[in-house]
Structure 1
């Protein structure tokens, strides 16, 4: 979607860098802008939930577990849990929870909602991981079991995703940690849900409430710059140039050490991209350090698909091109382009699919310059264009598994690599799973099916009053963990 430029123009005219934000009093509701759709109320089973809707879901319709401020698992509807049968069975004992209308949440309702969500999202971003779920059953009114086809020691991260929140239809029927106050037109006014044992007559203090809006990045940044909000969530490289033009004080800009994929997935394996050597030439043409340093400070580059060993039996596999010294890569890439042209007698043209946004345009500019420097003629197309040869993937990993990285990177990878990724999914035990992941990682690296560039760039703009905000690898910031108690 092409976004209007007038909010950007307005904030660009607002002046130079301002002092750290501190004008909003600490006895007023926390005002949050989440970058994304203005329609925040969605059914958890809806497909295509964006970042703003995910924030609203997690705030009003928690799942069995949820993330804390550090991106770690904490209890939600489930008070505690145990793992059995070599991580094939998860037993959740429910705590005391109530719907927004005061009725108790039952195990039967949770099971029904989770089954529905698993069925709905089987073809979405969580699909490769939801497939491992065999059954979700109510054992007693207080106990739920999730039975798996194969062992998954880190399944809790899956159940902390907003798509697996438990709600009665749209998020307004969720079980907290916030309830939506009725009669609101300017976003959502969220009030903390009562905890067991709370005085029913007691009212939360104004600063415990949250005013949540979903809006375009330019509008969200302008609102913060004007002192009318406390937090902007969901920032990425796509809108980062707006922050720089808005003059936000450095003390208010917080980066997440996000882990995931930011790079080019191969979509077509014909023409110049038909051989691993030529795909490696494109990878070598990209000057990662120049690209990242020119766009944002401390943006971490990447040359492997896996950022760490994770659940693989081996460290991340480097591609052969990554062993070439950086100062020699472009010369070698240009040589391979010339060799191709000498045989095929024609220009080398590659279409790159990128999203809209000023940050994507900056990325495009650097990628295009790098490709032109080695003799490749680049062309920019939109995401989903059938003529695209390469597509930019920019995603934070929702799951601590090397298989997510490999499955996400494998858009047009070799049949052997795809078979290994599927074998990792279906492995009968953890030993076989870890080794299939390692083999698939090495296969994708040698096949050059994905061209890593960096780790995803994620940031928030944070008022000084929100002292509990913490950067984390998931770039996830729950609204009930913004202030110190």
Structure 2
């Protein structure tokens, strides 16, 4: 009944971390949440039934069943989920990503049913190879210089999307990352010229055309994103080829929501132990030092230096914030957009008054 956790250093967002869905506790095959699930059967939705208040640690309440309803949950491909919503078969679609966002903007759906989370996390291209052109950090930087972030998602019509050239968001960062973009003294055309010169120099030295593969998930949104990225790279002399995830591409999309509000989460996404792509052991060491450091100012300094180290290593091409969308019918209560992209199912079991 009691789990004791001892922290080696202060962590303000620790309770938020424990509240993540993947941190749920199971005992003898049962969870500790506010709902109980039905026995699963092939092809049928999973039924979740709210527990009575006394089973959730609250005083008993008469006729509580009148203020509760079952929630049926199904997992299905994005196109099937959107079709089911349009046909009135489901009232809520969750966990949409940029790769399938165009599906939600077609058919009889109205703009009011599409709800976007102003999500916090990482969205960009990890560098998975240090061969050829990508062997030098300055060449990898050329790819980041070539991307027109301000217009990258224009075809998606995502209002309020925040682009970035940093790994840690500005509101969490220290030093230069907190001040603005990485190249404040260069116009986009100047950045593109620098990238073009580096590509041309490499091609002259190697005697071959520069071709890079970009790994993206399946979906019409990925098709559009690839068209945008390929157009940017073409402008500096790079031929981009589309590939799927984990198919050996030199660049691969990394799209993940933040789990707690700290620079450490963002920096740890590129830890060498994850083998996501290229990494920086120096940055990892600095993050480790920040964990055991008790002085808040020194801790922030360690994290800022680690961020600068990752940026200088050019192992990741940040693009902006992750995109998460949902389809919500008008009679649904208990749904709220949030920066974590998490939507608990228990509030959905409370019908409207």
Settle same-fold status: TM greater than 0.5: yes
The answer to whether 1:245 aligns with 2:93 is: no
**TM-aligned CA distance change 1:428 to 1:270, over 3 Å:** farther
Is the contact made by 1:350 and 1:389 (CA closer than 8 Å) also made in structure 2?
yes
Specify which of 271, 284, 289 is matched with residue 145 of structure 2. Answer: 284
Deviation at 1:253, TM superposition (A): 0.5
The answer to whether 1:364 aligns with 2:226 is: yes
Equivalence for 2:274: none
Is the contact made by 2:123 and 2:319 (CA closer than 8 Å) also made in structure 1?
yes
Deviation at 1:164, TM superposition (A): 1.2
The answer to whether 1:147 aligns with 2:6 is: yes
Distance in 1, Cα, partners of 2:224 & 2:134? 24
Equivalence for 1:191: 49
Deviation at 1:260, TM superposition (A): 0.6
Distance in 2, Cα, partners of 1:416 & 1:397? 23
Partner SS for 2:255: strand
Distance in 2, Cα, partners of 1:296 & 1:476? 23
Equivalence for 1:265: 126
Distance in 2, Cα, partners of 1:206 & 1:151? 40
Partner SS for 1:176: coil
Alignment of 1:174-213 (within 5 A): 174-182=31-39, 186-196=44-54, 197-199=59-61, 202=63, 204-205=65-66, 208-213=69-74
Equivalence for 1:379: 241
RMSD: 2.4
Distance in 1, Cα, partners of 2:323 & 2:108? 19
The answer to whether 1:306 aligns with 2:168 is: yes
Equivalence for 1:134: none
Equivalence for 1:274: 135
Distance in 1, Cα, partners of 2:141 & 2:176? 21
Distance in 1, Cα, partners of 2:111 & 2:185? 36
Alignment of 1:395-414 (within 5 A): 395-409=256-270, 411-414=277-280
TM-score normalised to structure 1 length:
0.65
Is the contact made by 1:319 and 1:445 (CA closer than 8 Å) also made in structure 2?
no
Select between 228-237 and 333-342 the one with higher mean Cα deviation: 333-342
How many corresponding residue pairs? 339
Deviation at 1:270, TM superposition (A): 2.9
**TM-aligned CA distance change 1:149 to 1:408, over 3 Å:** same
Is the contact made by 1:285 and 1:333 (CA closer than 8 Å) also made in structure 2?
yes
Is the contact made by 1:259 and 1:473 (CA closer than 8 Å) also made in structure 2?
yes
In structure 1, the gaps of 5 or more residues are 1-105, 112-144
Is the contact made by 1:351 and 1:388 (CA closer than 8 Å) also made in structure 2?
yes
Distance in 2, Cα, partners of 1:223 & 1:337? 47
Is the contact made by 1:319 and 1:448 (CA closer than 8 Å) also made in structure 2?
no
Deviation at 1:332, TM superposition (A): 2.4
Is the contact made by 1:420 and 1:437 (CA closer than 8 Å) also made in structure 2?
yes
Distance in 2, Cα, partners of 1:153 & 1:315? 24
**TM-aligned CA distance change 1:443 to 1:148, over 3 Å:** same
* Structure with the largest fraction of helix: 2
Deviation at 1:375, TM superposition (A): 0.7
Is the contact made by 2:146 and 2:232 (CA closer than 8 Å) also made in structure 1?
yes
User: Larger RCO: Structure 1 or Structure 2 (Cα < 8 Å, ≥ 6 residues apart)?
Assistant: 2
Deviation at 1:321, TM superposition (A): 4.3
Alignment of 1:393-432 (within 5 A): 393-409=254-270, 411-432=277-298
Is the contact made by 2:100 and 2:220 (CA closer than 8 Å) also made in structure 1?
yes
Distance in 1, Cα, partners of 2:115 & 2:199? 41
Is the contact made by 2:118 and 2:339 (CA closer than 8 Å) also made in structure 1?
yes
**TM-aligned CA distance change 1:315 to 1:397, over 3 Å:** farther
Deviations for 1:427-458, whole angstroms, at most 9, x for unmatched residues?
35544332211111112222222111121010
Distance in 2, Cα, partners of 1:416 & 1:300? 29
**TM-aligned CA distance change 1:205 to 1:188, over 3 Å:** farther
Distance in 1, Cα, partners of 2:67 & 2:88? 18
TM-score normalised to structure 2 length:
0.87
Is the contact made by 1:350 and 1:379 (CA closer than 8 Å) also made in structure 2?
yes
Distance in 1, Cα, partners of 2:92 & 2:185? 42
In structure 2, the gaps of 5 or more residues are 272-276
The answer to whether 1:476 aligns with 2:328 is: no
Specify which of 166, 177, 180 is matched with residue 316 of structure 1. Answer: 177
Equivalence for 1:11: none
Equivalence for 1:167: 26
Deviation at 1:424, TM superposition (A): 2.8
Deviations for 1:328-386, whole angstroms, at most 9, x for unmatched residues?
3222211221122222222212222222222222211211121122111222333223x
Specify which of 404, 419, 436 is matched with residue 302 of structure 2. Answer: 436
Distance in 2, Cα, partners of 1:314 & 1:321? 14
